[in-house]
Amino acid sequence: MLIFLDVETTGLEEIDKVCSVGIIAIEDENTTTIYELVNEGKKILPQASCINHITNEMLKGQLKFQDSEAYKFLVKNNNENTTLVGHNIKFDLSMLEKSGFSFKGEVIDTLRVTKHLVPECEQFSLQFLRYELKLYRKEKEELQAHNALSDATIVKNLYEYLLEMAPKDKLSELSFKKVLLTKFEFGKHKGSYIEEISMIDRGYLEWMLGNILDLDEDLRYSIEYYLEGVS
For residue 45, pLDDT beyond 60? yes
The CA–CA distances, whole Å, from 68 to 22, 114, 227 equal 12, 32, 47
Q: State pLDDT tens for residues 203-225.
A: 999 999 999 888 889 999 999 99
Residue 122 gets which letter from DSSP? S
- pLDDT at residue number 140: 85
Domains and CATH numbers, the chain: 2-174 (3.30.420.10), 178-231 (no CATH)
Per-position DSSP letters for 35-93, written without gaps between them: EEE---S-PPPHHHHHHH---HHHHTTPPPGGGSHHHHHHHHT-STT-EEEETTHHHHH
- pLDDT tens for residues 136-167? 999 988 888 889 999 999 999 999 999 999 99
Residue 14 has a pLDDT of 87
Query: pLDDT digit string (tens) for 71-115?
Result: 999 999 999 999 999 999 999 999 999 999 999 999 999 999 999
**pLDDT for the residue 12:** 85
What pLDDT does residue 231 have? 53
Higher local confidence (pLDDT), 34 or 45:
34
The pLDDT value given to residue 13: 87
